[in-house]
A and B are shown apart, each in its own frame.
Chain A
Amino acid sequence: MTQSDRKWDKVINDLKLSRRDFVFSSVAAGVLTLTPRFVSAQAGAPYKLGVLLPSTGTGANYMAHCIKGLPVAIAELNKRGGLLGKHQIQMIYRDTETKPDVGAREAKSLILNDKVDAIFGTYSSAVALAIQEIIHEHKVLHFAATSNSSKITQDNYTPYTYQFCPDSNMQSGAVVVAVAKMAKKNGWKSYVSLGQDYEWGRDTHKGFTGSLAKVAADVKETRQLWFKLGETDFTSYITAIMAAKPDFMFGAIAGKDAETFLQQAGQMGLFKRVPFPGGLIAVNDLKAQRKTLPRGMIGLARCPFFAHLNEPIMQAYIKRDRAAFGADDYPDDWACMYYDALGGLEQGAKKAGSVSTEAIVKALKGATIDTCRGKRTFRDCSNQLEVPSYVGEVWDSPDYPFPIYKPDTMVVVEAKEVWTPTCAEVDKLKKKRA
């Protein structure tokens, strides 16, 4: 083992100890970037990648694995030489605090001060919409992989943004497909909705109710309940749902709020009385609430690793993250999607034969890329990656220390089944940009 190898191993071992603290991870990536052992003889200019994700505010718990995982993935890519085998990626992280004005400010700082070539981020759709204005003005490549309001790729479309996760309409559409099947099977006729009172929550709810009315006209929404982001006490909402006695409930809840709601609702026995299909239950929820999550509950995921165990990219990704962070630390949906974004950047540069923004933007237009979720194609008119959504029953697997979705109940709803049907409709939504 050479000294450089020992240094590399030490860095990876150190990363095991870090929690969400990206600082050490980023430093590690930087150190590796500078290590001559990994720099090819034809080294090009470093490629600066700005990462805008929250480590504070709502959503911070969802982004923890991304923030610690990205530097490891980047370090591995740099070990291969970086983009095009010669452009080492230098990651620069900033906390958006899940606030649009902070996100916009940090995007400016990354672009004007750090001169980044691309930005990955962010968690909240409202923040993503704000930073899109900045990235479009400065013509900087932007990969979104968590914020999923359909406005990001439609109303607020910019050719510089590429979307790696299913948008809010696609997700609610996927739930509709699954719920329609269950409603028919169980004879459900009424439901109550509970949502986070902000853009994503409203957008998801609108998509769900509109789509369900088309496929199951006899199933009626009897009540809507909205709560403010960061709610800590769901008692009044839970009792209101129980009092309404619906056949099932629909939820547009994510982040820390989802965790809080699921815990409180589980304790109050809501799910024993009212089925809750389609609530966002990502891998991090399955891990964090392994003891309390009611089994048999129907969840929705965006990129669960257990759905694509046969994909070589997913296999390699799981292996590396477990090596870096511990055997139980499987990547969650969010980390998985940002990993695909990094892969998209690498493949985009390769297709373009260049790391210039315009060349990558052009190369990825309508391109098919290899991802953790198999071969996926960007929609030509919106840059939305054709990725599925996953609905399944929470179940204890003998293979993992936390529950996953029961394989034989899992419905994988493909993008084309549920996204805005035609490009003409998408184009109609796009706003004019000066």
Chain B
Amino acid sequence: MKSAAPQRAANAPGRRFAVVLLALFLLVPLLPGEFWTVVGTEILILGLLAMSFNLLYGYMGQISFGHAAFFGLGAYATAMLFTALKSPDGSIGVPEFLLSLLVGPPVAAVGALIVGFFCVRLTGIYFAMLSLAFGELLFYIVFSWYSFTKGDDGIQGLLPPHYFQDPGNYYYLTLAIVVVALLVMWRITESPFGYIMRTLRDNQRRAAFLGINVRLHMLANFVIAGAFAGLAGALWGPFSRSVSPGLLGWQESGIAVFMTLIGGAGVFIGPIVGSVIYTMLQAVVKMYTVYWPLTIGTIILLIVLFVPGGVLGLVEKQIKARQGRLSDGGGARAGSDEE
């Protein structure tokens, strides 16, 4: 493990980039029209989903194709409580609205605990397939249970309180929640627990020899990732004004995978950057053509073939190469001084 001081130094460019990104996010509602504010909100929510997915993929080394199930569970938990707390005239107060948001993460965490209990017994492709199977199972339950979830219809009428109906205000609420969530995630990934995750990613057998309870740590990470996905889902319902079973489906999970691959799984904020690229590209491409699946498929293909570390992975590589050249040059100069 790295000691704290060099680690902080190594993280400095990333930290500066995060601050710049945050500043840019703060400015989004100042753009003319409401459209880009809405796109910005989507970037943040789906970015949080992708970040939570990366706790499993980038830090624990396991790919889940059923991660959106927890996004959907969070969305449905919020939608159901939201509907129950609405007054007879269809409106909802701010406290009730915030309370409905709070219920998303714990419900998703409970779901993740149950699913994770089975999934963490496997690794690699078996982990991926089992997570996919559970994801589809949850999707089908929500899709079919009409009396409880409204089935394929989904739940409509999730209009937030008047103040948050303004896209700018909802955006800033989302930004605040996502920033806090990312800070907590950062803290987790930089804690001893986070480094245990990296160890499990790199060599599970060695971790077990070191006395680490592999399954327990994997399960804890699975639940944490599920809870953050649930938080993203909780924000999605009132943003979209409705929820539907598709939120739990494998295609939604695929979006988190795409975003992570585009942004870079090896960098903490990679998935958020992936969300910026994916969501903005989608918004723009769909204005001109229906061939969005072809477009994103081509992009993913190019990324996997030529930029396997994602956009931020490439940037990080360039920075390290530059730092290496500078230190080599410095070393050479120092050497010549000595001569």
A residues lining the B interface (CB < 8 Å) = 22-23, 55-56, 93-95, 99-101, 104-106, 108-109, 112-114, 125-126, 129-130, 132-134, 137, 149, 151, 156, 197-200, 202, 226, 228-229, 431-434
| B144 in contact (CB, < 8 A) | yes
A106 vs B283: C-alpha distance in the bound complex, in angstroms? 9
Query: Which of B106-114, B176-184, B242-250 lies on the face that meets chain A?
Result: B242-250
List the 6 closest pairs (A to B, CB-CB), nearest first: A198-B152, A100-B244, A133-B241, A434-B91, A432-B90, A434-B90
Q: Give A112's nearest chain B residue, CB to CB.
A: B35
A147 vs B73: C-alpha distance in the bound complex, in angstroms? 27
A149 vs B159: C-alpha distance in the bound complex, in angstroms? 22
Q: Which of B158, B283, B289 has the most CB of A within 10 A?
A: B283
Name the contact of B42 in the complex, choosing from A105, A113, A125, A229 (C-beta under 8 A): A105
Q: Give B165's nearest chain A residue, CB to CB.
A: A137
Chain A contact residues: helix, strand, loop or mixed: helix
Interface size class of B (residues with CB under 8 A): 35 or more
A37 vs B129: C-alpha distance in the bound complex, in angstroms? 61
Q: Give B88's nearest chain A residue, CB to CB.
A: A432
In angstroms, how far is the closest chain A Cβ from the Cβ of B258? 15
A129 vs B165: C-alpha distance in the bound complex, in angstroms? 19
Q: Give A114's nearest chain B residue, CB to CB.
A: B287
Asked if A130 and B146 make an inter-chain contact with CB atoms under 8 angstroms apart, the answer reads no
A56 vs B296: C-alpha distance in the bound complex, in angstroms? 15
Contacts of B165 in A (CB 8 A): 137
Contacts of B190 in A (CB 8 A): none
Asked if A126 and B290 make an inter-chain contact with CB atoms under 8 angstroms apart, the answer reads no
Name the contact of B293 in the complex, choosing from A56, A133, A202, A226 (C-beta under 8 A): A56
Q: Which of A106, A114, A125, A126 has the most CB of B within 10 A?
A: A126
Given contacts A101-B246, A133-B156, contact A197 B144 (CB under 8 A): yes
A93 vs B154: C-alpha distance in the bound complex, in angstroms? 24
In angstroms, how far is the closest chain B Cβ from the Cβ of A23? 6
Contacts of A105 in B (CB 8 A): 42, 240
Q: Give A432's nearest chain B residue, CB to CB.
A: B90
B124-144 with Cβ < 8 A to chain A: 140, 143-144
Asked if A101 and B247 make an inter-chain contact with CB atoms under 8 angstroms apart, the answer reads yes
Asked if A129 and B242 make an inter-chain contact with CB atoms under 8 angstroms apart, the answer reads yes
- Produce 1/0 per residue, B229-270, CB < 8 A to A: 000000000001110101100010000000000000000000
Asked if B92 and A434 make an inter-chain contact with CB atoms under 8 angstroms apart, the answer reads yes
Asked if B33 and A23 make an inter-chain contact with CB atoms under 8 angstroms apart, the answer reads no
Asked if A198 and B156 make an inter-chain contact with CB atoms under 8 angstroms apart, the answer reads no
A434 vs B287: C-alpha distance in the bound complex, in angstroms? 31
Q: Which of B35, B88, B143, B244 has the most CB of A within 10 A?
A: B244
Asked if A129 and B289 make an inter-chain contact with CB atoms under 8 angstroms apart, the answer reads no
Asked if A94 and B286 make an inter-chain contact with CB atoms under 8 angstroms apart, the answer reads yes
Name the contact of B241 in the complex, choosing from A93, A95, A137, A228 (C-beta under 8 A): A137
Asked if B240 and A199 make an inter-chain contact with CB atoms under 8 angstroms apart, the answer reads no
Given contacts A101-B246, A137-B241, contact A432 B152 (CB under 8 A): no
Contacts of B283 in A (CB 8 A): 109, 113
Contacts of A101 in B (CB 8 A): 240, 244, 246-247
A226 vs B146: C-alpha distance in the bound complex, in angstroms? 13
Asked if B290 and A56 make an inter-chain contact with CB atoms under 8 angstroms apart, the answer reads yes
Asked if B289 and A133 make an inter-chain contact with CB atoms under 8 angstroms apart, the answer reads no
| B337 in contact (CB, < 8 A) | no
Name the contact of A130 in the complex, choosing from B38, B90, B144, B154 (C-beta under 8 A): B154
B159-198 with Cβ < 8 A to chain A: 159, 165
A197 vs B159: C-alpha distance in the bound complex, in angstroms? 28
In angstroms, how far is the closest chain A Cβ from the Cβ of B156? 5
Contacts of A151 in B (CB 8 A): 153
Asked if B35 and A432 make an inter-chain contact with CB atoms under 8 angstroms apart, the answer reads no
In angstroms, how far is the closest chain B Cβ from the Cβ of A431? 7
Asked if A106 and B286 make an inter-chain contact with CB atoms under 8 angstroms apart, the answer reads yes
A156 vs B158: C-alpha distance in the bound complex, in angstroms? 13
Contacts of B328 in A (CB 8 A): none
| B34 in contact (CB, < 8 A) | yes
Asked if B151 and A198 make an inter-chain contact with CB atoms under 8 angstroms apart, the answer reads yes
The 6 listed contacts between A and B (C-beta, < 8 Å) are: A129-B156, A137-B241, A199-B153, A202-B151, A432-B90, A434-B159
Asked if A199 and B246 make an inter-chain contact with CB atoms under 8 angstroms apart, the answer reads no
Asked if A23 and B146 make an inter-chain contact with CB atoms under 8 angstroms apart, the answer reads no
Contacts of B38 in A (CB 8 A): 108, 112
Given contacts A112-B34, A134-B241, contact A433 B90 (CB under 8 A): yes
| B338 in contact (CB, < 8 A) | no
